[in-house]
Structure formats: C-alpha cells, structure tokens
Structure 1
C-alpha cells in the first residue's frame, strides 16, 4: 500500500512564509477561542469590543491561510513585497485590535490598525500586478 500526499511537494516555495502562515493561523484560532470564552468573563469588555476581537481573529485566520497558499506558489512565494506585506499587515491590524480590546489606554495603537489593513491590501494587490 502506497501513501499519496494530499498536496504534491513543490520544489520552490518559501518555508518562512509557510511557517508564518501556520503560526498566524494557529495563533488566530487560539485568540478566537479566547474571545469566545475568556473575554466574556471580563466585566469591562463590551459586546462591541468582542465583535472587534472576532473581526481581528477572522482576518488573521484568512491571512494566515493566504500566506500558506502564497508560500506554495512558484512565483509568488519569492515575491519580495507580497508575503512580507500580508504578514506584517496582519500582525499590525489584528495585533492592534487585540491589544486595544484588552486595554483602551493603548490609544497610540489606533493608527496602526488602518496601516495594517492597507499593508494587507497592498500585499494582495501586488500579487495581481
């Protein structure tokens, strides 16, 4: 009996982007679970803040999976801008929302959120060019 891999091995690819995508996805699943269970225990967390947390987790999961896919592509896995922009944008966007949800005193992070979103968008657009 022979074993056939689910996905064929690719000669090219980016182990860095693969690992980054896997770690971002795993962390986002953990953050999502914490948002669903742990945040509700805190009296200072409003439903709006839980919704923001869920949005951050959702975007992080999608972008983590996106990085996994980009890492497998023969041309885009070595793109100098796309993967790093998606990765950094996800960390800035989701990370700032997570931090602001837990501590509203970190107001300086407010401008980081849209910058992260723009970086993610730019990363994906660069794949189309």
Structure 2
C-alpha cells in the first residue's frame, strides 16, 4: 500500500511539474518572421533563449542568445552571421505583439533594431 501511495504521489508531482512548465513558456518562444522574409525560431537553450534562423541563407545559424531580465525585457548577444558571426551586445523587448531585437556598439551609443513578427497562419512562410 505504501508503494502504491508513493507511486501515485510521484505521478501527481510529475504531472504538476509538466503542467507548470507548459504554463510558464516564455512569451518570445516560438516562430518569428524577420523583415527580409527569413524565419527564426526562439527556443530554450540552457539558461537562456536562443533565436535561430529556420529558413533563408543563414538557416541553422544563431541570431541571438538572450536572458529575461528583472524588468521583463531581454539582454544578451545578437549575432551577425552574414558578417562572420560577429557578436554585438543585444537586447529585446515585446511591443504590440512584435519582438524588437536590437544590437548595439560603443556601449549602446549606436544601435540597430529589427522588428520580428509572428508569422500569419495564411502565409507560405509559416512552414519551417
């Protein structure tokens, strides 16, 4: 009887842990479309979130590796695979359903920001 209770308790705990993990998915996880039409996917990678090109000439290369900050935005590294995988200080934030991803030089003095959109269901680009 004791083993049965222990097994049931473990099963309930595992189910709650799985449910909690699904409920806590990060808002930027999932698929994104970049301004030039490429697609990217944001997924957990270690203790961070990685955005990886899912289509286009940079397919499979990393776009960014960011961690959520206490303010609710994201900070980390933004890569430029077209320029020898050059790394930039980066940050990201959600605005009006879009992900804004910024890469900066000179301590944040000069930045370039791109707006990533969620793919539309009727778009042919939604097929990754």
Query: Scaled by the length of structure 1, what TM-score is found?
Result: 0.26
Larger RCO, structure (CA 8 Å, separation 6 or more): 1
Structure number with larger C-alpha Rg = 2
User: Structure 1 or 2: larger strand share?
Assistant: 2
